[in-house]
Amino acid sequence: MPTLLLNADVGESFGAWRMGRDEEVMPYIDLANVACGFHASDPDTLRRTVRLAVANKVAVGAHPAYPDLIGFGRRSMACSAEEIENLVLYQIGALSAMCQAEGTRLRYVKPHGALYNDMMRDSVKLAAVMRAVAAFDAALPLMVMATRDPAPAQALADEHHITLWFEAFADRAYDGEGRLVSRREPNAVHHDPETIVDQALRIAKGQPLTASDGSELILEAQTLCVHGDNPESIAAVRAIRQALSEIAI
């Protein structure tokens, strides 16, 4: 097995609109973060994506978001803690039903977009997501961002008796706290394949990255997020898979 499990966001088409290259990226990943209908996807896309994951022996995870189809879940919303708990629980349930129909089961939860970023900044929101996971199945791991100091998130998870999987990103720049640089900032997203593969290998080996403030940053992660929405990103995923396989030998 590679040092890091590769995960990718999939199932983000909606109706007649197609997004991503799920069929191309699925053979190279271990974990499929499947959109659950609030930021993207629909019932047909949900079931089709689960079926594709099963065919490729990829574990299925729920990718719940704020109810923001127009903004693709990338806009923060003024939801209460109770609303967040319920909207996450609702989306987990929808995807779990499709998993059952396709002879598999849900394996983990990874919030999407603004909800993911908000919960990493606000312990009240993070606790609400954790309550939703625990209410559905406390055995499901919750994927959260690997930061310079993972202790606060881990302590909260311990309170809710759930497991965390810490996630890093191969194609994103990090700030000094180990958080993702906003996409609105220049150079927030890496596009050069060599840079992306190098960052993936540094994370896998526990070697330092250079944060946006120039400091060294070491991230402890169990999974690496990759993207597969264009030919260049698919090529990068293939290269990362090959590089991780070589260091695992």
Q: What are the chain's domains? A: 5-248 (3.20.20.370)
pTM: 0.94
Helices (H) and strands (E) in the chain, counts: 8, 9
pLDDT tens-place string over residues 173-202: 999 989 999 888 888 988 888 999 999 999
Q: Closest Cα to residue 200, out of 3, 64, 19? A: 3
Question: In the chain, where do the E strands start and end?
Answer: 5-10, 31-35, 59-63, 106-109, 142-145, 164-169, 209-210, 216-217, 223-226
What are the Cα distances from residue 172, in Å, to 94, 179, 180, 200, 211? 30, 10, 7, 10, 10
Retrieve residue 143's tokens: 């994927």
DSSP state of 60: E
DSSP state of 207: P
pLDDT tens-place string over residues 23-45: 999 999 999 999 999 999 999 99
